[in-house]
Amino acid sequence: MGQQSSRPNTECVREPCVLLKYTTNTAENHPHRLDETVGTGEIDGGRKEKMSWRRWPTLHFRCRRAAKYDLAQAEKDFQNNSGLYRRFSQAPTSEVVPAAEEQPEEEEPEEEESEEEQPELDVLLKSPICEFYEIGQKLGEGGFGSVYEGTRRVDGLKVAVKFSLKFPEMPYVKVPGHRKPLPNEIGLTLMANKGRQVPEIIKLLDWEDDSDHYIMVMERPSPCMDLFSFVELHGGILEEQTARHVMRQAVRAAQISCERRVFHRDIKLENLLVNLDTMEVKLIDFGCGALMKNTAFDVFSGTEVYCPPEVEVYGKYYAKPTTVWSLGILLFAMVCGSYPSDSDLYMINANIWSSPGLSQECCQMICDCLQPWQQQRPILKKMHLHDWFKVRLA
């Protein structure tokens, strides 16, 4: 497995994409439903093209040994710095703080940054939606928005309020039942929520679309943290039984999203919330997503370390096989504490990869999901039938 390094850039890369058309399933009887109908990976009269693996950065956890933890203490430790929807534009760096007697007396805490955030908060507080919700402290932020604590005034329900500024060429999507196109994140989240409520997908409670920004009000599970922080809390590696419980819910969230015509495109540790009391997992942040279609996508939108090899080799990818790949990377990260190295991927391709302490079924699940040829990966709709989900550990 790859050596450890600083935490990689996990910011979603969003292209200035054009409006994608809503399509229906035209290949009901094909074993790879919709976009799972993919090429054979052969060129020049049948000669298979060699996949070239990039060397990817590894996850960076403080410790890589599995560990037990105290839920009550965990909530105290992380309530101030984990938050919901936490994102980083770059790996965090360590900072050496001098001893108290060495610190210059003239240095005073600067408050300029908080002043820079004030215009955003002022706009949020003046929006019509705040007539119904009281805004609290900021929970997290990223390149595309900030998330605040919120409370619904009528009944005291705890919510998360996401404020996002619009950017040039921001993608919009036409959602059935709405007269005009909606910002991509709002539209896709609405579609993922349409129909019977699915606990594995974050629930959108309210939203507002303005000329230069949009606001989303979502459920706020408590206590919770993103999956990256959850894995870090366990010492860098999840026990297989815990990883199975998380993975089962992540797979279901991906399946339901696709059934509702939504391709998330950015399933990763940071985009899954874990409730520390119930161990319920929720998929969040559909901002990098797109409408499902039965043809290939030719511009990648997502997080690089979860990008499948066909993007680099062919410059195109299909929704469901790509989702299966990202779920495979997710599982590898949870049970190994790193992203797969070149040697890992080579052995996975040969179907001979294994890791001490993992069951044969778990290793096989990883090998199946991370096959370089798309048609050799499991069908997303049938992933829940994999032997690994049937294993019962004492």
Phi/psi of residue 225, nearest 5 degrees? -155, 165
Q: Is 28 exposed, middle or buried (0-12, 13-18, 19+ CB in 10 A)?
A: exposed
For residues 377 and 372, give the distance between their C-alpha atoms in angstroms, rounded to a whole number. 8
Pair type for strands 290-291 and 262-263: antiparallel
**Two tokens at 258?**
């696709």
Residue 261 sits at the vertex; the CA angle it makes with 257 and 262, to the nearest 5 degrees, is 50
Select which of 266, 285, 344, 368 is catalytic: 266
Active site residue 226: no
The distance between the two most distant Cα atoms of the chain, rounded to a whole number of Å, is 74
Which residues are part of the catalytic machinery? 266
